[in-house]
Amino acid sequence: MGNLLILFTASLCLCLFVALLYVLYKYWWVPHRVQFIMNSQGIKGPPYEFIHGNNKEALQMRKEASSKPMALTHDIFPRVMPHDYSCIKKYGKNFLSWNGVRAQLVITDPELVKEVLKTSEKAFSKPKTSYFFKKLLGDSIPTIKSEKWARHRKLANHAFHGESLKNMIPAMIASVGTMLEKWKDKEGKEMEVFKEFRLLTSEVISRTAFGSSYLEGEKIFDMLTKLTLIIGRNFYKAKFPVIGKFWKSADEIESNKLEKMIHDSVMKIVKQREEKVMTGEVDSFGHDFLGLLVNAYHDPDEKNMFLIQDIIDECKTFYFAGQETTNSLLAWTTLLLAIYPDWQDKTRAEVIEVFGNQNPNSEGIAKLKTMTMIINETLRLYPPLNGVVRKAERDIQLGKLVLPNYLDLNIRFIALHHDPDLWGDDVHLFKPERFAEGIAKATNNNAAAFMPFGLGPRTCVGMNFAITETKIALSMTLQRYTFTLSPTYVHAPLPNLSLKPQHGLHCLCLFVALLYVLLYVLYEYLWVPHHLQFVMNSQGIRGPPYEFIHGNNKEALQMQKEASSKPMALTHDIFPRVMPHDYSCIKQYGNNYLSWNGVRAQLVITDPELVKEVLKTSEKAFSKPKPSYFFKKLLGDSIPTIKSEKSARHRKLANHAFHGESLKVNH
């Protein structure tokens, strides 16, 4: 048992030591190496801070920027990403930044952006999804790679393009119709359009992709929204690797719960679809996105078959991606039309010209030129996604740079969309006319200047869907209403971010404290006893071997129990019965031997010469040991336990009380 404990503790100690080395390697050596490699190629940036990277600084800047009210300007980059904005000003278009321990080459040079996004994913792939994003998207199109991605992407392309998209138009019109019907009660009143469009976009994706109403997917949307809030809160939080495996934050626990609940809710919708076929209510799984997924689940060809988890993850992703992004586009477009009534009038005139008072149709949607310009300018100024991330898969060349494979590549659309070098001095003005002759002309054929839906093979699969939905919603709304800006309008500050201390530092302190305790225990309970044992043994003093923590206590207790359990003859030979362990040790090891009361080494002395020497020598050499916990309770600091001058004083008093005249008087 003792050996097992030693082995266990030694292994634990070794593991902790390896973990410490790993942490130092990952959190100190690698970041400094990457920093050195990039700096030596002329890429500078704010210095790496242990564990936090630049997160604390970025969070603080964001908090400050978003706490101030904002004038009605479209120059939003310094407000939305103040840290990146100030780094570009200080270090240039491409700089090295740190999200915790993750090195990020932030790229806003259009040539490098194109090279990254258009190169095969074997060179610049999607990075591993962070803990919370994984809960949101699982293994779905935005996160998977290679052959699996190609298969899933093919299915999604089929569901959201061409004829399938055309077939979705009636459902989109019906959803907008429902929203406008409700607006009738609110005519003339002020309305929060972002909220209204949240319901609309949820309803549209539910109906078109999943053949259900918003109400059926309501729980899923609520849970996805909660997850996105958690992601926002944790965006700048560093995660400590070793401790993080064993200790979960409240947000991690909550996100696990949400993930499970979303899984169950989506599963229910999938099962309902399957049951309709099983019961003969319908004869196929359907041709919408969910139908194609369920079909793929039942595909007899293993190569094409989707697993149930694939379906769940794709559904989650499309519920999320199909709603949040288009919601943002619709809300910003409406706001801009309210700010610029001339453009609103022009767009309305176009809608009336194309559709009259009729509902939109696919041919007409393609003819809405002014509306397309408005949407593009909105996407330029207010891209629903600020950027995308890739990862250098290996040490690789990018332009003139050689990138180490630890590097994430952050491409900030928002910086490119607001770059005066690409758009001119009027970059921050709302000027839809830029797009009058199409995107290629507006961007001077520079694809990286405008890419709200991404670039290269990973471009947004829902782009046409989102644009069609936006055009239908705007057309039907403009046919009926005029938007004006609320007089109380100010740009709402971003949700306040709390500056909680980073978990990483707590974890490191905890880790160091644990290591310290472990080393202390090993020293006190392993090293010291064995060293003492060696010292005494080498002088001929033997004794029962020390057992980790217990010493000889278990053995001594056992012997005492056995001895006292037997009836005793009327003999005065009580030593073997009263102290059987000591008795047997003397027999085995001689008059003086080494014994262990737990971790306390005890030289048991029965050699009369040594006994005299110990007891007669000044207490400066052989003093009373510290009383044990329970003896301390019994005796406190009294004559048997105190020493030196205090002991002398107390003893004098007691002597006086129990000797000489006092003793006689008491008689």
Residues that bind ligand HEM (CB under 6 A): 141-142, 153, 156, 160, 317-318, 321-322, 325-326, 329, 384-385, 388, 452-454, 458, 460-462, 465-466
d(CA 318, CA 304): 20
d(CA 657, CA 500): 66
87 is in an annotated binding site: no
d(CA 592, CA 606): 6
Phi first, then psi, for residue 498 (nearest 5°) are -85, 150
Residues sharing a CB contact under 8 Å with residue 384, sequence separation 6 or more, in sequence order: 324, 325, 326, 328, 329, 452
Least separation in angstroms between CB 111 and ligand HEM: 18
What letter does residue 184 receive in the DSSP assignment?
Answer: G
Per the DSSP assignment, residues forming a β-bridge with 597 are 551, 600
Least separation in angstroms between CB 301 and ligand HEM: 23
d(CA 370, CA 491): 26
Measured from the CB atom, the residue of 94 and 326 that comes closer to ligand HEM is 326
Least separation in angstroms between CB 324 and ligand HEM: 8
Least separation in angstroms between CB 61 and ligand HEM: 24
Measured from the CB atom, the residue of 331 and 442 that comes closer to ligand HEM is 331
Measured from the CB atom, the residue of 388 and 526 that comes closer to ligand HEM is 388
Least separation in angstroms between CB 522 and ligand HEM: 49
Measured from the CB atom, the residue of 35 and 333 that comes closer to ligand HEM is 333
Q: Which residue is nearest to ligand HEM (CB)?
A: 462
List the one residue out of 387, 390, 395 whose CA is nearest residue 125: 390
Phi first, then psi, for residue 198 (nearest 5°) are -65, -45
- The residue count of the chain comes to 667
Least separation in angstroms between CB 7 and ligand HEM: 49
Phi first, then psi, for residue 497 (nearest 5°) are -105, 130
Measured from the CB atom, the residue of 156 and 473 that comes closer to ligand HEM is 156
Measured from the CB atom, the residue of 199 and 329 that comes closer to ligand HEM is 329
Least separation in angstroms between CB 332 and ligand HEM: 10
d(CA 364, CA 387): 32
Dig out the tokens for 574 from the structure: 């009580």
Query: Coil, helix or strand for 603?
Result: strand
Pairing of strands 408-412, 102-107: parallel
Measured from the CB atom, the residue of 311 and 461 that comes closer to ligand HEM is 461
Least separation in angstroms between CB 21 and ligand HEM: 35
List the one residue out of 161, 493, 201, 452 whose CA is nearest residue 320: 201
Measured from the CB atom, the residue of 322 and 364 that comes closer to ligand HEM is 322
Query: Coil, helix or strand for 389?
Result: strand
List the one residue out of 49, 191, 83, 168 whose CA is nearest residue 482: 191
Q: Which residues of 264-291 are buried (b: 16+ CB within 10 A; e: fewer)?
A: ebbeebbeebeebbeeeeeeebbebbbb
Per-residue H/E/C for 224-253:
HHHHHHHHHHHCCCCCCHHHHHHCCCHHHH
Least separation in angstroms between CB 289 and ligand HEM: 8
Measured from the CB atom, the residue of 277 and 447 that comes closer to ligand HEM is 447
Q: Which residues are annotated binding-site positions?
A: 460
Q: Which residues are annotated binding-site positions for heme?
A: 460
